[in-house]
Structure 1
């Protein structure tokens, strides 16, 4: 028995127009936030360099995080893979919340809000993740 993820378009899931619009608003907002955040990491914004120095894992991790954020942001804008982009962001943002709470000592509210948005997209799109 193989356990693999696949892309499907279910016919049994029905959402009203307002639900579809709300989901798109969340996905576009998340994509914008993660494009900006990931882009600033990849571009070497001084605040991001300082943040990753404070975290103490090295600047390579800033690049990895930036790539994850930008790649996931792009995926959020593609209906067939949006749920997978959000799925990658969930552990990323759990790490961001923990980092803010236990290492940086700053407010964890911004990453927590982004985490909740990503979880919402995963929850609504969970039917796209099918086990074979």
Structure 2
């Protein structure tokens, strides 16, 4: 009976992770669109950073790549920690540049960390595949 319950809960967890991955991919695509078009608050945020439009566009490209990785099963376990790092930088920027609480970046960071944890087996499989094992 416990094996059946574990399999059932494993399926539920997998579905929940997929829903979360698709939602986060959508979030990052929308965020990247704002960076590519230069709409607010992206334009003023990157202006305040002082690194120019190239950095805003680079961040948008990283967000699109991360979003794509979240919906490719073999890459999801790698994309999620990369997005954790990206959103950690966003949270630091929010605190250091604007002095505000980084609520949204931290919430996104936590959700990406949940995905990374849930897809750690995929990360191990990818590592083994790259290593040729």
Question: TM-score normalised by the shorter chain: which range applies?
Answer: 0.7 to 0.9
1:28-43 alignment runs, 5 A limit:
28-43=22-37
**1:99 is paired with a residue of what secondary structure?**
helix
**2:74 is paired with a residue of what secondary structure?**
coil
Aligned to 2:91: 97
Residues 1:123 and 2:128 aligned together: no
Bigger relative contact order, structure 1 or 2 (CA pairs below 8 A, ≥6 apart): 1
Tell me, which stretches of 5 or more residues in structure 1 are unaligned?
A: 1-13
Aligned to 1:79: 73
Give the alignment's Cα RMSD to 1 decimal.
1.6
Runs of 4+ in structure 1 off by over 3 angstroms are: none
Displacement of 1:87: 2.0
Q: Whose helix proportion is higher, 1 or 2?
A: 2
TM-score, structure 2 as length reference: 0.81
**2:73 is paired with a residue of what secondary structure?**
coil
Aligned length: 119
Residues 1:111 and 2:98 aligned together: no
**In structure 1, C-alpha distance between the alignment counterparts of 2:62 and 2:37, rounded to whole Å:** 14
TM-score, structure 1 as length reference: 0.82
